[in-house]
Structure 1
Amino acid sequence: MKAVTITEESEPIQLVDIDTPEVSGDECLVKISAAALNRRDQWIREGMYPGIQFGTVLGSDGCGIVEEGPSEWKGKEVIINPNVNWGDNPQAQSSDYSVLGMPTNGTLAEYIKVPSHRLHQKPSHLSMEEAAALPLAGLTAFRATIKKGGAKAGKRVLVTGAGGGVSQFAIAFGLASGAEVFVTSGSEEKIERVKEMGVKGGFNYKNEKWFKEAGQTGGFDTIVDSAGGNQLNNYLKIVKPAGKIVMYGSTTGHPEKVDVFRLFWSQAQIMGSTMGSDDEFVEMLEWVNKHQIKPTVNQVYELNDYLKAFDRFKAPDHFGKIVVRF
């Protein structure tokens, strides 16, 4: 079968021929219909991800049809929970936790072998390409926005970096919860686009004083962020008393300093968040089905154009998820 793997070549990701996995017992062989890219795939490509293991099939998100396995799954359209060994603690992942796509072979292949308990029925209102865009980003956003952020009717939520894979789901879950949702972005076009989705307002973070404009709106009960860096102190200026700043990434690095006085005086909570537990994956799917949430797919590429897909992913102007179709 054909698969996209990480290699030691000058172009680290290569489309190669490898053996189709064999299944036994409770395992299922899923013929992948579509797989979506995530930031970790690009980081692996750039050699910026810890513990790179050459020869691993990349990809954490996938949707397909079960060809072999227990009878109750054969022929079903499924999406795959990318968690590996979350563990028994719902609050935090185990020490040997990982995600599909390294070190375990991932979804950027014609077939993948997974235990049947990793499978869930594809939401019927989603296409294969849309469903493929859901697992990792959807679960990350659900945990950060709903489970940790506490978004609900009567609350005000700020989602930073509108247009990314996780942020679009954070916006969608925030709106579904009944909260008032605002965003930041470096693109006025993206701000206008999310307003069409129901977002109440947006702030361009390229304006150094954006947080003053944001603060004039009344502040936020929850701020969902993946950037980190020195913006953290701006968030502390606009989070409401006893509000929450939920951070699921640090794309701009560490803050040079933290305004600790403002932090303790505001009674604010700064919370870390990762993808989410297996139970939260089930809850996330329930929300997607109940509220008919649909991901925004920016562009779909055929497998042979996988490099174009990766290059499109790293372009700053893309809005939504990048999907590879098989």
Structure 2
Amino acid sequence: MKAIVHTSPKGMEGTAFQEFESAEPKAGEVKVQLKSAGLNHRDLFVLTRHGDGEPPFVIGSDGAGVINGVGADVNNVKVGDEVIINPGLGWHSKSPAPPKGFDILGYPSNGTFAEEIVITANSVEPKPTHLNWAEAGVLSLAALTAYRALFTRGQVQEGQHVLLPGVGSGVITFILQFAKAVGAKVTVTSRSEAKRQQALKLGADHAIGSEKDWNEALDGEKVDLVIESVGAATFEKSLDQVKKGGTVVTFGASAGDEIKLDIRNFFYGQYNLLGSTMGSREELREMLQFIENYNIKPVLDKTYRLEEYEDAFNRLEAAEQFGKIGFAISE
């Protein structure tokens, strides 16, 4: 089969679209003929984590397709079923943190940027009927991350005010849609005027330039909840925008891992700071039901063929996208 494979050296230089050995499903496994796949920032990170001497692997965590092979003792799906891939490995039930052994598809295991994939049968879920293949293939990782950050960790409620710094990523566009679906007020920030306008069209109530004084732009109004994924570049401004007793949920740090925190101001303000990482199979199923109930679809930025992977990776690395970047694999 054809696939996007990483060998060595580290980075894009060790990546190629090439032939890769196909596998057959063993007991408890299924083979999925992939129709589409989705690109995530993790797919960039693993190119630098893959060490010299490790075996080649297929990149990619998100995908959707049709079951075309079933191993022994598989009862939840059959050949011909349309499914999406659950990229989370080993996290079944909702819990305060991932269990020991939790991992994500696409390193060190083989991932979804390929014509087919063999995966455990409990790692597939029925494809939402209201999504086309392009939409289904980019869904799981970003929408699950968004769902856990906003609902499980952030505990958002109708009428609350949510701040989303750095709008444009797949996760943040999902959070914007999810928050509006349950009746929250949403403010976004971005350096890009184009992205701010796209966010307003998607339902945001306010869109602020990242360089502006956020407090002034909101006329002094504080927010109930911030979902942070930028990190060092925005964290201080984000915390300053939270009302006393409010919450910051963080799931990323694209602009730096280390922050300074005035701990006295923090405890006097009775703030809550929570980490979040993707989510469990239970939360994935809740998210799938949620998007069907509210007819929510991924925001598709651009779709590429697998052989155009360099253009896709470069677009993501440059943060040019608004929404999800996908791969069209087969008809």
**TM bucket normalised to smaller:** over 0.9
Q: CA RMSD for the aligned pairs?
A: 1.8
- Per the TM alignment, residue 50 of structure 1 is displaced from its structure 2 partner at its CA by 7.2
Q: Is the 8 A contact 2:145 2:279 kept in 1?
A: yes
Match of 2:33 in 1: 31
3-state SS of 1:244 partner: strand
Match of 1:184 in 2: 189
Q: Is the 8 A contact 2:34 2:112 kept in 1?
A: yes
Letter in 2 for 1:6: H
Give runs of aligned pairs for residues 227-266 of structure 1, distance below 5 A: 227-266=230-269
Q: Is the 8 A contact 1:233 1:259 kept in 2?
A: no
Match of 2:211 in 1: 206
3-state SS of 2:84 partner: strand
Give runs of aligned pairs for residues 37-52 of structure 1, distance below 5 A: 37-45=39-47, 47=48, 49=49
In the alignment, structure 1 segments of 5+ residues that lack a partner are none
TM-score (norm 1): 0.94
Change (3 A) 1:224 1:50: farther
Q: Is the 8 A contact 1:34 1:132 kept in 2?
A: yes
Match of 1:3 in 2: 3
TM-score (norm 2): 0.92
Give runs of aligned pairs for residues 292-311 of structure 1, distance below 5 A: 292-311=295-314
Match of 1:84 in 2: 89
Match of 1:282 in 2: 285
1:117 to 114, 117, 122: 122
Match of 1:154 in 2: 159
Match of 1:15 in 2: 17
- Per the TM alignment, residue 137 of structure 1 is displaced from its structure 2 partner at its CA by 0.3
3-state SS of 2:58 partner: coil
Q: Does 1:65 align with 2:66?
A: yes
In the alignment, structure 2 segments of 5+ residues that lack a partner are none
- Per the TM alignment, residue 244 of structure 1 is displaced from its structure 2 partner at its CA by 0.7
Separation (CA, whole Å) in 2 of partners of 1:286 and 1:89: 16
Change (3 A) 1:124 1:88: closer
Q: Does 1:312 align with 2:315?
A: yes
Q: Does 1:94 align with 2:99?
A: yes
3-state SS of 2:309 partner: helix
Separation (CA, whole Å) in 2 of partners of 1:11 and 1:211: 44
Separation (CA, whole Å) in 2 of partners of 1:88 and 1:151: 21
Separation (CA, whole Å) in 2 of partners of 1:133 and 1:254: 26
3-state SS of 1:40 partner: helix
Q: Is the 8 A contact 1:6 1:58 kept in 2?
A: yes
Separation (CA, whole Å) in 1 of partners of 2:112 and 2:155: 31
Letter in 2 for 1:136: L
Q: Is the 8 A contact 1:230 1:257 kept in 2?
A: no
- Per the TM alignment, residue 19 of structure 1 is displaced from its structure 2 partner at its CA by 1.6
Separation (CA, whole Å) in 2 of partners of 1:120 and 1:88: 15
Larger mean Cα displacement after TM superposition, 138-147 or 229-238? 229-238
Higher RCO, Cα 8 Å, sep 6+: 2
- Per the TM alignment, residue 263 of structure 1 is displaced from its structure 2 partner at its CA by 1.0
Letter in 1 for 2:306: L
Number of residues of Structure 1 aligned to a counterpart in Structure 2:
322
Separation (CA, whole Å) in 2 of partners of 1:266 and 1:87: 35
Q: Is the 8 A contact 1:146 1:173 kept in 2?
A: no
Kindly provide the CA deviation profile for residues 133-187 of structure 1, in whole angstroms up to 9, marking residues without a partner as x.
Answer: 1100000000001111112211111112111111111111111121111111111
